[in-house]
């Protein structure tokens, strides 16, 4: 049963803050129109969050964006998950082995949330953003399909009954095709996102289970599609599965 909202004013304030997960920066009018709230109420909420450093206001435009307190909360969230702490040494090993980006994600409703990533040294020069806290669809990501394959059939059918967004021309959006894909993932133990989320990027994902065989999350290795040939995919999935078994005894 869903918990009941007890403090309506707090709910409104957090709905305002949640707007910034979709777009930044934002102004009072944009948020007011989106949520159907009075501008004066939105302004007061924004100024309160700004005073508490959850938001920053641009002096020239007057618009707002997320502040440092949100980053602190995000880091605290990641630290609260044992899986991130325990998986990090393995993830760093993967980057050394394959010289590609490694992602760790957990399921959240009908999406995945990225808990963190490990980057090879040369990637830091590219100024890549921290993915911690970012969300992505399940049906078109390596970690997402790995997680989806480990969930009950009832959940999968309900997921497929909703509209599955087509991210690229390679995204699987037909339920029957996704059923076949999940069957293949269950048989082989790994998932492949072959340019289904982003053109030119291929990702190999494997589910992570705990000692009780309960789904905890998934990790993946992601790289440019020309480098991710079948031989390399097989090498990556084998390493991910072996390490998932090692991690399993720690969870």
For residues 87 and 22, membership in a common domain is answered with no
In a domain, 73, yes or no: no
Contacts of 43 (CB under 8 A, 6+ apart): 28
Burial 1-26 (b: 16+ CB within 10 A, else e): eeeeeeeeeeeebeebbebbeeeebb
**Could you read off the pLDDT of 18-32 as tens digits, one per residue?**
999 888 899 999 999
Q: Which residue's structure tokens are 């090879």?
A: 120
Q: What is the DSSP string of 200-228?
A: TEEEEEEEEE-TTS-EEEEEEEEEEGGG-
Q: What is the dihedral of CA 125, 130, 131, 132, to 10 degrees?
A: 150
Distances (CA, A) of 244 to 23, 104, 169, 190, 251: 35, 12, 31, 11, 10
Q: Is pLDDT of 143 > 70?
A: yes
Q: How far is Cα 93 from Cα 144, in angstroms, rounded to an integer?
A: 22
Give strand pairing partners of 101. Answer: 222
Give strand pairing partners of 203. Answer: 193, 222
Domain that holds residue 53: 8-68
Which of 189, 191, 192, 202 is CA-nearest to residue 245? 189
Which of 29, 12, 31, 10 is CA-nearest to residue 20? 31
The DSSP secondary-structure symbol of 117 reads: E
Q: Which CATH number characterizes residue 162's domain? A: 3.30.450.40
In a domain, 225, yes or no: yes
Given this model, what pLDDT does residue 70 score? 82
Q: Which CATH number characterizes residue 33's domain? A: 1.10.10.10
Residue range 121-140: average pLDDT?
A: 73
Q: How confident is the model at residue 144 (pLDDT cuts 50, 70, 90)?
A: very high
In a domain, 75, yes or no: no
For residues 45 and 93, membership in a common domain is answered with no
Given this model, what pLDDT does residue 109 score? 87
Q: How confident is the model at residue 124 (pLDDT cuts 50, 70, 90)?
A: low
pTM tops 0.85, yes or no: no
Q: Which residue's structure tokens are 């435009």?
A: 61
**Could you read off the pLDDT of 235-244 as tens digits, one per residue?**
999 999 999 9
In a domain, 162, yes or no: yes
**Could you read off the pLDDT of 207-223 as tens digits, one per residue?**
999 999 999 999 999 99
Contact of 219 with 205, CB cutoff 8 Å? yes
Domain count, the chain: 2
Q: Sign of torsion, CA 246 242 113 130?
A: positive
Given this model, what pLDDT does residue 73 score? 75
For residues 50 and 139, membership in a common domain is answered with no
For residues 134 and 207, membership in a common domain is answered with yes
Backbone phi, then psi, for 174, in 5-degree steps? -90, 125
For residues 94 and 132, membership in a common domain is answered with yes
For residues 188 and 243, membership in a common domain is answered with yes
Q: How far is Cα 41 from Cα 31, in angstroms, rounded to an integer?
A: 11
Residue range 182-204: average pLDDT?
A: 97
């Amino acid at each position: 049963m869903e918990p009941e909202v007890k403090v309506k004013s707090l709910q409104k304030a957090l709905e305002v803050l949640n707007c910034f997960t979709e777009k930044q920066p934002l102004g009072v009018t944009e948020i007011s129109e989106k949520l159907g709230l009075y501008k004066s109420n939105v302004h007061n909420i924004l100024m309160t969050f700004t005073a508490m450093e959850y938001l920053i206001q641009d002096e020239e435009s007057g618009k707002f964006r997320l502040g440092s307190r949100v980053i602190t909360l995000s880091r605290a969230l990641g630290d609260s998950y044992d899986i991130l702490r325990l998986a990090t040494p393995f993830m760093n090993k993967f980057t050394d082995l394959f010289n590609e980006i490694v992602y760790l994600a957990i399921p959240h409703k009908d999406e995945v949330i990225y808990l963190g990533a490990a980057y090879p040294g040369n990637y830091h020069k590219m100024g890549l953003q921290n993915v911690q806290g970012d969300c992505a669809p399940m049906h078109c990501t390596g970690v997402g399909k790995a997680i989806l394959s480990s969930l009950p059939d009832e959940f999968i059918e309900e997921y497929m009954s909703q509209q599955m967004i087509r991210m690229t021309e390679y995204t699987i959006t037909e339920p029957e095709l996704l059923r076949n894909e999940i069957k293949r993932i269950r048989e082989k133990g790994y998932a492949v996102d072959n340019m289904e989320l982003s053109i030119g990027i291929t990702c190999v994902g494997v589910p992570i289970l705990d000692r009780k065989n309960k789904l905890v999350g998934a990790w993946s290795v992601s790289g440019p599609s020309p480098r991710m040939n079948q031989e390399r995919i097989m090498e990556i999935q084998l390493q991910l599965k072996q390490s998932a078994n090692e991690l399993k005894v720690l969870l």
